[in-house]
Amino acid sequence: MNQERIFQVLVAPHVSEKAAVLADSNNQYVFKVAVNATKAEIKKSVEQLFKVKVDAVQTLKVKGKVKRNKYGQSAKPTWKKAYVRLEQGQDIDFAVAE
C-alpha cells in the first residue's frame, strides 16, 4: 500500500463515551475511516501510523440521517467506523502520535 493511501484510509479517531470504555476494557480503538476502505487496509494503516500490532478489525457503516429544514429535506452523509483491537500490551496515545 502506498504512503498516500495510508493517510486516506484513516480519517479521524472517533471520540465518545463508548469508545473510551472500549479502549480501557477491551484494548479497542474506534476510527472514522474511508467508506471504501477494507479491513486489511485499515489494519496496515493503523500498524504503520501508530507502530502497534493489530489483532482484529471490525467495521460497520453508519447510515446518514435525513434531516428536515425550512427548505425541505437534506441527508447527512453515510460514513464508516472501524473498531480496531490491538494485541496485548499495545497502546495508542493520540496526543503523541508520530
DSSP string across 10-76: EEEE---HHHHHHHHHT-EEEEEE-TT--HHHHHHHHHHHH---EEEEEEEEEPPPEEEETTEEEEP
Question: Rounded mean pLDDT of 1-7?
Answer: 88
List pLDDT tens digits, range 33-72.
999 999 999 999 999 999 999 999 999 999 999 999 999 9
Instruction: Find out whether 31 and 84 touch, Cβ atoms under 8 Å.
Output: yes
First to last CA, the chain: 19
Q: Give residue 96's pLDDT.
A: 62
pTM over 0.85? The answer is yes
Average pLDDT, stretch 75-85? Answer: 97
- pLDDT score recorded for residue 95: 73
pLDDT single digits (tens) 10-29: 999 999 999 999 999 999 99
pLDDT of 13 reads: 94
Upper half-sphere CA count for residue 71 (Cβ side, 13 Å): 2
In whole angstroms, what separates CA 39 from the centre of its chain? 11
Q: What confidence score (pLDDT) does residue 46 get? A: 95
